[in-house]
A = this chain, B = another copy of it.
Amino acid sequence: MSILVVGSVGFDSITTPSGRVENVLGGAATYFALAASYFSEVRVVAVVGEDFTAQHESVFHKRGVDIRGIEHAAGKTFRWGGQYLDSLNEAKTNFTELNVFEKFAPRIPADYKDSNFLFLANIDPTLQSAVRLELSQVRLTGGDTMNFWIERTKQELEETLKLIDVLLINDSETKMLAIESSLPRAARKVLAKGPQALVIKHGEYGATIFFRDGAFGVGRHPFRAPALPIEEVKDPTGAGDSFAGGFMGYIASQPELNREVVKRALFYGGVMGSFAVEQFGTERLQGLSREEIDGRFEIFRELTHLA
């Protein structure tokens, strides 16, 4: 089954305690697509500028990702600069140059209209809704958002949440969206806004998925997946999008969609996030093998499962 991801492709300049890189390929759609490519066919809708070269394209092509939906516009590609010197859990933004991303109006190629899975990366909720409504064959929509949209476009976001099946956000976004400090209570409030399930990403502590009653079959409790305790997190950039890529990619690879599949997907999300942070940028996600991925999945199981 093929997944369509709509979001940013850009160039990042990142400083962490482990070092510094400049203008490396990044963006939510990039991390998502590379992570998901180990499980399913992936299509990307994004916009880049004239500085996006054949070399950048080849990163996607080598992973078999379909980037015919990446629009080439006049001007420069989106650029972001950030640092994680005080805390690996939170980036401090040095600069954001929206460039061609400022006028991003996603155009879905005709060939992409049969996509069965959709991931709406962190963009303007109005665009998220428009994309979703254009696709009639989608079985499951995943989505992300951030504090910026929660604060500034709350009404539009509420509409988008009615169209998203699984929302993947972090602890503080969940609390802000629900205006509630207890995480389980905030989760219930977010689910009441539309999604069938809410994945709350806890960074180094893993992630928890909360289900609406009856969503993806029967089951009483939430489910929690760990993150791998990694000695040297070189670059946390893209961990959340890589998580989403592993999560959605695994779901799209499965013949059935039930709660057990979703739980395993949560583990695969953690696995892909754990790989992403081991090197700067998307480097680690470019050359993995399915054996390495499944090997780490087993480590995640050993990390959490009693005999």
CB-CB < 8 A to A182: which residues of B?
231-233
Chain B residues near A205: list those with CB within 8 A. Answer: 202, 205-206
Contact with B along A212-227 (1 / 0, CB 8 A): 0000000011111110
Asked if A176 CB lies within 8 Å of chain B CBs, one says no
Decide: A226 near B229, CB < 8 A? Known: A205-B206, A206-B205. no
Asked if A229 contacts B183 (CB within 8 A), the reply is yes
Instruction: Decide if A154 is an interface residue (CB 8 Å cutoff).
Output: no
Produce 1/0 per residue, A42-82, CB < 8 A to B: 00000000000000000000000000000000000000000
Kindly list chain B residues whose C-beta atoms are within 8 Å of the C-beta of A210: 229
Pull 15 A–B residue pairs with CB atoms less than 8 Å apart, ordered by A: A17-B181, A182-B233, A184-B231, A185-B232, A206-B224, A210-B229, A221-B299, A221-B302, A221-B303, A222-B229, A224-B303, A224-B304, A263-B307, A264-B306, A305-B305
Q: Are A223 and B304 neighbours in the complex by a CB distance under 8 Å?
A: yes
Q: For A223, list chain B residues within 8 Å (CB).
A: 302-304
Kindly supply a per-residue 1/0 record for chain A positions 167-187, scoring 1 wherever the CB is within 8 Å of any chain B CB and 0 otherwise: 000000000000001111101
Docked CA distance A145–B34 (Å): 44
